Each structure stands twice: as C-alpha cells, then as structure tokens.
Amino acid sequence: MINIKYLKNKLNSHVIRLFIGVLVAIFIIEFSIHTLIHILILNYIPSSLQSFLHGFIDSLTLVLIVFPVIYFLSYKPLLLQIRERERVEEKLKQTMAEFARSNSELELFAYVASHDLQEPLRMVTSFTQLLEKRYKNKLDKDADEFIEFILDGATRMQSMINDLLQYSRVGTRGKPFKLTDFESVFCQSLVNLKIAIDENNAIITHDPLPTLMADSTQMIEVFQNLISNAIKFRSKESPQVHVSALKKRNEWVFSVRDNGIGIAPEFFDKLFIIFQRLHSRSEYPGTGIGLAVCKKIVER
C-alpha cells in the first residue's frame, strides 16, 4: 500500500505525478498484454490446449513486460551514444553555419578590397604620377623626394591589398580536392620559377613524392612560395633546395630544406603571421604574405 501522505512529505508534487504516471502506464501495459494473450489463445490456439495455457497467462504477461524492460536497459549505453552523436551532429551543423557565414564575410571583404578600396588608391597614384611628370626638377629637392615617398607608399599599399585579397580567397576560391600527383605539382612549380632558378644558379632536388587528395593549384602555390623564399633568402653559396615527403601513420609530412641564411628561433612565432617581415624592404623586397598563404592553404 502506497502512503501518499508520506510521499507528499518527502517528495515534491512533480515527482509524485511522475510516480503515479508510471504506475498507471504499467497498469495499462499489463492490462493490454493480458487481454491480448486471452484473444490470441481464444482465436489461434486449439481448444485442447487453451485450458492448459490459461494457467500460464500471468507468467506470460510478466515475461512480455519484463523482457522489453531488460532489453531496453541493456541498450541504454547505445541510446546514450546515439544522443551524444546527435548532439555532436547539431554542434557540427552550427559550426558549418558559422563557417559559411565567415566565408560570406570574406567574399564581401574581397569585393570591397578589390573595388572600393583600390579605386581611391589608384586615383592617388595616378595624380601623384602626374605631379612627378609635370613638376620633377622644377620644384626643390624636398618636393621631388616627397612625391617619390607618396608613389612608393601607394605602390606598396596596392601590393598589400592585392596580397590580402589573395590571402582571403584561399578558402573561398579553392577548388574541390581530387587525386593530385605531387611530382607533377613540384615540376610545375619549377617551371614557374625557371627564371629565378637560372639567375641564381639554384639546385632544386626532391625525393619521390606521393599522390594525394589536394587542390593542385594551391599546392603549386605552396611549393612556389617555399622554393622562391629559399632562393631569395640565400647565403653566399648557390641556393640548394631539397623537397621530401615522409608518411607518418595517417598523414604525410612534407619538408623543404635549403642552405640559406636561416631563421633565428626567437622569430619562429612570427613566421606565418600575415605581413610580418624579419628583414627591411631594402634588404629583401616583398610584403611578407607568402608563408601566411602557405599556412592557410595547408590548414585547408
């Protein structure tokens, strides 16, 4: 006998309603199964066996109630796994939605950078060039120098905007991955760098390279940036660059080694930051975008 007053003192009303609901559900299930067994016996069992089976109705009812409960409890861990998977899938959907929104913002930025920002910059450059052409050597030396500074700054800004545009398009303009022969990728990058290689008497070698799923166009860009950096930051000796690839468990590790000037350990954290330069523009030209682009392509 259930003492409801005792339960009210010990449990809140929500728990009591839940408990009563469970009792009612068990009663309904038991009543329904009990009735179903009666119907099955009367309609599908020979009359000679009906009286025998009626003595086991209570046992059959108990079995039909208890077994599903045991079956459910035994699969509880599986249900928990299913719920966890659904939670992860929902989180993944949210992440993908955020990623798509981020891509849209990048595309908008690329449009603004390629049109709205560059138009006034082109006007500054054009009119400064007119000033230089019309008044060079007609004003004092300071004026000529100031005009050169303006042109140099505008040209560098134009280059940085173009590089920033290139950086923003790594994720949005990349091609779908497909089986890519990295031997061909490597060779194409050397073709693109032929003039720089010949002018610097560079020696470029490589180990056998694999065929993997990748964006071939972007991988050519990675090899070009790394090899051209090795040629640019050369030592007094002729540049020597070696490309290798080694499989480690479920991934491939590519290496590009050279005999150049190297990088001090304290600057390692700046290597892949956009527009970070370790040398002055007078020593080595460029905007400092190359390794940042490589990093973004590899992360993709």
Tell me the pTM.
0.53
Query: 295 and 179: one domain?
Result: yes
Last residue of a domain, one of 171, 206, 222: 171
Residue 97 lies in a domain: no
pLDDT of 2 reads 44
Domain count, the chain: 3
Q: Going from the first residue of the chain to its last (300 residues), give the mean pLDDT of each consecutive group of 10, the final group possibly shorter.
A: 45 43 42 55 55 53 52 61 81 79 70 71 82 79 81 79 73 78 90 88 89 88 87 83 88 87 72 66 63 80
Name the domain boundary from 74, 91, 126. Answer: 74
How far apart, in whole angstroms, are the C-alpha atoms of residue 61 and residue 64?
A: 5
User: Among the three residues 148, 171, 194, which one is the final residue of a domain in this structure?
Assistant: 171
Distance CA 224, CA 290 (A): 9
- Whether 259 and 201 have beta carbons less than 8 Å apart is answered as no
pLDDT for position 285: 59
Q: Are residue 192 and residue 255 in the same domain, yes or no?
A: yes
Range of the domain at 120: 103-171
pLDDT of 40 reads: 56
Q: What's the confidence (pLDDT) of residue 37?
A: 54
DSSP class of 282: T
Could you tell me which residues are beta bridge partners of residue 251? 248
Minimal CA–CA distance to 218: which of 296, 111, 105, 102? 296
Question: Does a structural domain hold residue 26?
Answer: yes
Query: What's the CATH code of the domain at 270?
Result: 3.30.565.10
Cβ neighbours of residue 158 under 8 Å, at least 6 residues apart? Answer: 118, 121, 122, 125
Same domain, 201 and 238: yes
